[in-house]
Amino acid sequence: IYAGPSGFVGVEQAARLSADVASANWHATASLVAKLAGDALFVDMGSTTTDIIATRNGAVANDGYTDAGRLLSGELVYTGFTRTFLFGVASSAPVRGRLTPLMNEYFASIADAHRILGVLDEKDDRHASADGKEKTIDGSIARLARMIGRDATELTLAEWHEISRWFSEQQLRKIHDAASLVAGSPVAGSLARDAPIVGAGTGRWQIRRLAERMERRFVDFAEIM
């Protein structure tokens, strides 16, 4: 049984290390990245959360370990590529030159924005839509429209595209802020500028954008396996 920093342990020892075992999934993958890539910033973006872990000298250079600790350190960002509801990434959006407050309801998810942008692989969106209706561009626009108190027909497709880009950008900024904290943390030893970002998970498109923004080389986790 994998118990994080303690490595693989037997059943009896695992019982004593229950907290380590419960939080071990992210550490197991990060440990593999550390061994295969050396110094890197490992970013794993799933449907709901994003893990950001520095690796140094073949080891995981994490500051936090539990969810609470990693939320504080920036190593866990509670935003994902599909399930995150839009109010979780922004409280307003620009609509025809006016910053419009959003309705604080689960009317749409970030999957809708990414679908409208054409960057969502439908097999990665495994959960029901916010209104239980079809997962199409038209369906996503209708859900997005509810967030700003409008009907889908009130704006053009190009305008819905720009609003979707706004939401995706707000999400990226949250991840970028956290990644900057992790890369510059004392535990990571101010990660070298040539250390790549190793990306995994359904949100690789967003992680590639993060790598460009941080001026770091992007390496797909699948390429180093």
CATH of domain 86-172: 3.30.420.190
> In sequence order, what E strands does the chain have?
40-45, 50-56, 59-60, 76-77, 92-95, 98-101, 197-200, 218-220
Question: What is residue 25's predicted lDDT score, i.e. its pLDDT?
Answer: 82
Q: What is the pLDDT of residue 131?
A: 98
Whether 9 shows a pLDDT value over 50: the answer reads no
Q: How confident is the model at residue 24, as a pLDDT?
A: 67
Q: What does the alpha-carbon distance between residue 15 and residue 5 come to, in Å, rounded to a whole number?
A: 15
pLDDT (tens digit per residue) in 155-193: 999 999 999 999 999 999 999 999 999 999 998 888 999
Q: What are the residues whose beta carbons fall under 8 Å from the beta carbon of 28, sequence distance 6 or more?
A: 2, 4
pLDDT of amino acid 48:
97
Q: Is the confidence at residue 11, as pLDDT, over 50?
A: no
Distance CA 209, CA 197 (A): 11
Nearest to 113 by CA among 87, 75, 77, 149: 87
Domain ranges of the chain: 4-76+192-224, 86-172
Q: Do domains 4-76+192-224 and 86-172 have the same CATH topology?
A: yes
Fold of 4-76+192-224: Nucleotidyltransferase; domain 5 (3.30.420)
